[in-house]
Structure 1
């Protein structure tokens, strides 16, 4: 009953993202410039590097690039700990930029195009902003940009939404930073752990969704168009 209304098709895209990023990173090792990349990767990140990456990463997330790519790139370049931390900051900044742009600057523009979805999401998020945002972010499916914009034109408190989003970003940020780091050094165990954690995080998101059966219709509609 529970899993049928969620469906398995939406999970194909994130699974392919894992395979594509890991395969691409491993392929870089076979290219002529692979040694150059390796010599720069995992080098010490100074303030300029951190600021540049966080700024570009935030911009990328704000315009709709999958946040997993930002985490993977950071992990590839600086390892799991530093990479995941930098990617998480970039993701939260990008999320906040979208939310406040939609709320303060482009409310009429966004509402005119997303009115029906905004009403459904408003009912979902305003009940429990932190938990709802956390649940939606744990799911590796959907459109993060669209969710940010919808939250911006809803009545959801920005603080609860951003905190819930940040908490929900953590598992996949760490997982994709782990995959990026493991791909750079071709460490099979690290890649396997990353894939296993990806599956676990997906299952956790599904369980959280199934627990909210009272809102299951709203969640089903929302998850098909947001993430």
Structure 2
């Protein structure tokens, strides 16, 4: 099962984002950041602001910025439910960008480095591409950008990979959008709710991985973090 170290790292990320939110509201630096980007260019700018956020989020997640940070910022900019959808869509666009780069331009460049990972990805999702990709996205561990690159140079079909990715992004996006949002509950309660949701989603992902992996694995580090070992 999932190690306590994995859960502590995730909870630490939630708490650090809560601290960022506090600094946004209470410090001059936080106010300057708000004014120069979110407040100046996103909030109150309608469709233009939303498209700008999506472009920024797609770019940042495409190059490896944690999608949880984008989810936090989406919650701050758009509130909880709209922020969850915008944050997940931004992560999906970043996923699509990286996937297409690897598929169109990066196969020869990435094959030596990610060939083994891509082959394991192929084996993992071969029989059930949608459900197994969804399973990968529900896990609280693993590298988002490496998964996107490996999928791009694998034989994975784009449509089920993207559809399952979007659905799989939603739980963690909701968690971090909750931390970033200004919903009218006490900050401690808001962070506590996010921590409980993170633990629940992480435990669900780990349980499903244990239940449905059928001896396959996508990455040695992921298997080790979840207390699994690939079977031959």
* TM-score where L is the length of structure 2: 0.85
- Residue 10 of structure 1, aligned match among 6, 10, 15: 6
Give yes or no for contact 2:124–2:213 (8 Å, CA) kept in 1.
no
**1:214, 1:149 → 2: CA distance?**
24
Give yes or no for contact 2:57–2:91 (8 Å, CA) kept in 1.
yes
Go from structure 1 to structure 2 and tell me whether the alpha carbon gap of 1:10 and 1:189 turns closer, same or farther (over 3 Å shift).
closer
**2:31, 2:54 → 1: CA distance?**
25
Residue 32 of structure 1 is matched in structure 2 by 28
Indicate whether 1:80 and 2:80 are aligned. Answer: yes
* TM-score where L is the length of structure 1: 0.87
Structure 2 unmatched ranges of 5 or more: 225-232
What is the root-mean-square deviation of aligned Cα atoms in Å?
2.7
**1:186, 1:8 → 2: CA distance?**
27
**1:189, 1:16 → 2: CA distance?**
16
Shift of 1:72: 0.2
Higher mean displacement: 64-73 or 107-116:
107-116
Give yes or no for contact 1:183–1:191 (8 Å, CA) kept in 2.
no
> How far does the alpha carbon of each residue in 1:8-66 deviate from its partner, in whole angstroms, 9 at most, with x for none?
43334322211111122113322136567499499435111011100010000000010
**1:203, 1:186 → 2: CA distance?**
26
Indicate whether 1:92 and 2:92 are aligned. Answer: yes
Give yes or no for contact 1:26–1:184 (8 Å, CA) kept in 2.
no
Go from structure 1 to structure 2 and tell me whether the alpha carbon gap of 1:224 and 1:211 turns closer, same or farther (over 3 Å shift).
closer
SS in 2 for 1:127: coil
Give the number of equivalent residue pairs: 221
Go from structure 1 to structure 2 and tell me whether the alpha carbon gap of 1:111 and 1:30 turns closer, same or farther (over 3 Å shift).
same
Give yes or no for contact 2:130–2:160 (8 Å, CA) kept in 1.
yes
Go from structure 1 to structure 2 and tell me whether the alpha carbon gap of 1:177 and 1:53 turns closer, same or farther (over 3 Å shift).
same
Residue 203 of structure 1 is matched in structure 2 by 203
Matches within 5 A, 1:48-197: 48-182=48-182, 187-197=187-197
> How far does the alpha carbon of each residue in 1:74-112 deviate from its partner, in whole angstroms, 9 at most, with x for none?
101221122112111111111011111101111111112
Give yes or no for contact 2:14–2:194 (8 Å, CA) kept in 1.
no
**2:6, 2:220 → 1: CA distance?**
13
Structure 1 unmatched ranges of 5 or more: none
Residue 220 of structure 2 is matched in structure 1 by 221
SS in 2 for 1:117: helix
Go from structure 1 to structure 2 and tell me whether the alpha carbon gap of 1:194 and 1:7 turns closer, same or farther (over 3 Å shift).
closer
